[in-house]
Structure 1
Amino acid sequence: MPTIWQLQGPSMRGIPFVLFPVAVLLGVAVAVADEPAPQPIKLAVFPFELEDFSAAAAYIPPDDIDREQLRLSTEEARRLIAASGRYQLVDVGAVNDEAAKAGKLHLCEGCDARIAAGLHADQSMVGIVTRISRTDYAVTYKIRDVKSGALVDVEQTDLRAGANSAWSRGARWLIQRRLLEQSN
Structure 2
Amino acid sequence: MRYIAFLLGPAMLLTGPIGASSAETAVPARVKIAVFPFELEDFSAGAAYVAPDEIDREQLRLATVEARRLIAESARYQLVDVSAATEPAAKAGKLRECDGCDAKIAAALGADQSMVAIVSRITRTEYAVTYKIRDARSGALVDVKQTDLRMGANVAWSRGARWLIERRLLEQ
- For residue 43 of structure 1, the aligned residue among 15, 30, 33 is 33
* Counterpart-to-counterpart distance in 2, 1:161 and 1:88: 31
Q: What is the SS of the residue equivalent to 1:47? A: coil
- For residue 156 of structure 2, the aligned residue among 131, 142, 166 is 166
Where in structure 1 are there 5+ consecutive unaligned residues? 1-25
How far residue 158 of structure 1 moved from its aligned partner, in angstroms, is: 3.6
- For residue 106 of structure 2, the aligned residue among 104, 108, 116 is 116
- TM-score with structure 1 length normalisation? 0.81
Q: Deviations over 1:74-133 (max 9, x none)?
A: 000000000002111000011101111111101110000000010010000001000011
Counterpart contact for 1:144–1:152, Cα < 8 Å: yes
Q: CA RMSD in A?
A: 1.4
Counting aligned pairs with the same residue, the percent is 72
2:169 pairs with 1:179: yes
Q: What is the SS of the residue equivalent to 1:159? A: coil
* Counterpart-to-counterpart distance in 1, 2:51 and 2:30: 39
Q: Which amino acid aligns with 1:136?
A: E
* Counterpart-to-counterpart distance in 2, 1:79 and 1:136: 25
Counterpart contact for 1:40–1:88, Cα < 8 Å: yes
Counterpart contact for 1:137–1:158, Cα < 8 Å: no
How far residue 31 of structure 1 moved from its aligned partner, in angstroms, is: 3.1
Aligned to 1:131: 121
Aligned to 2:85: 95
Q: Which amino acid aligns with 1:64?
A: E
Number of aligned positions between the proteins: 156
Counterpart contact for 1:125–1:141, Cα < 8 Å: yes
- TM-score with structure 2 length normalisation? 0.86
* Counterpart-to-counterpart distance in 2, 1:154 and 1:110: 13
2:40 pairs with 1:76: no
Q: What is the SS of the residue equivalent to 1:61? A: coil
* Counterpart-to-counterpart distance in 2, 1:98 and 1:33: 43
